Amino acid sequence: MPRTRPFAQVDVFSTIPYGGNPVAVVLDGTDLSDEEMQRVACWTNLSETTFVLPPTAPEADYRLRIFTPQDELPFAGHPTLGSARAWLDGGGLPRHADRIVQECAAGLVTVRRGEGILSFAAPPRVREGALDDDYLNRITTAFGITRDRVVAHQWVDNGPGWAVLQLATTEEVLTLEPDLSLIPAAMVGAIGAHPHGSPHQFEMRTFAPGIGVPEDPACGSMNAAVGQWLTAGGAAPSTYRVSQAQRLGRTGSIEITADADGTVWVSGATTVCVRGTITA
């Protein structure tokens, strides 16, 4: 029987309200079936909708299930930060004052609390290494570029299936006009460098036709895995900033920080824009 549940919509990765990536958060997903969760996620029509549940791991503060309009994900970045913000805003009390521990299908994810900023620790990649020639050729064809424009490429999969192409410049990334019908199952990003002295070091775009999201405005999981790749290989400094969603008319800003032990943190602003209830 449907009942009223607390609900929030959170803008993630922008200090300008409605400039980032929204996530819908059902703050009490208890007793909802998989089918009911998927139906709500399809209805909200956002890149992700999450459902907060009691934890099953003793060290976790809550359990999170994450749905796109057509599938469930084991992990996603901006829903992690947005759900943590909604949970705190709704009166959630973490076991530790400086951090939240989220349980999800990918395991336990630590969310660090700073002054108005939340950061999640990037989960381990389940696949890495260079792309095979066939897949790389299919992506470059879909992107409308030649192989010689690819500076580097890599599997950066921490659950959703991400791959990434590194191009030389921000302009090359922003002018991509991908034909996603050629890579309908892909989960792929493109990253390129901003000119020296810019407030952001890189520009990112993320395309996810594989889960029904043509272009994700600001993607935490992609940036997390790309951050692990770039900082480990010395292709980026231990702290850098990424701009995302310019082509979508938004102002996404993501900070990547690699600790001395190799832990990569993904940080960004989170703003609760909608508070209310949902009947489900």
- For the stretch 10-28, pLDDT in tens is 999 999 989 999 999 999 9
Q: Could you tell me which of 202, 245, 203, 206 has the C-alpha nearest to residue 222?
A: 206
pLDDT tens digits, 136-155: 999 999 999 999 999 999 99
Distance CA 237, CA 227 (A): 10
Mean pLDDT of 118-132: 96
List the beta bridge partners of residue 121: 265
pLDDT at residue 211, rounded to an integer: 87
pLDDT tens digits, 59-86: 999 999 999 998 999 999 999 999 999 9
Two structure tokens written together for 60: 């976790």
Q: Could you tell me which of 62, 64, 95 has the C-alpha nearest to residue 78?
A: 64
Torsions phi, psi of 52, nearest 5?
A: -90, 130
pLDDT at residue 16, rounded to an integer: 92
Q: Is the pLDDT of residue 196 over 90?
A: yes
- Catalytic residue ranges: 48
pLDDT at residue 261, rounded to an integer: 95
Structure pTM? 0.94
pLDDT at residue 1, rounded to an integer: 81
Q: Is the pLDDT of residue 116 over 80?
A: no
Distance CA 140, CA 136 (A): 6
pLDDT at residue 259, rounded to an integer: 97
Mean pLDDT of 219-235: 96
Query: What is the set of domains in the chain, with CATH numbers?
Result: 4-124+268-279 (3.10.310.10), 127-259 (3.10.310.10)
Two structure tokens written together for 250: 């938004």
Cα→Cα distances 215→80, 150, 180, 209, Å: 19, 20, 10, 8
Mean of per-residue pLDDT scores for the chain: 96
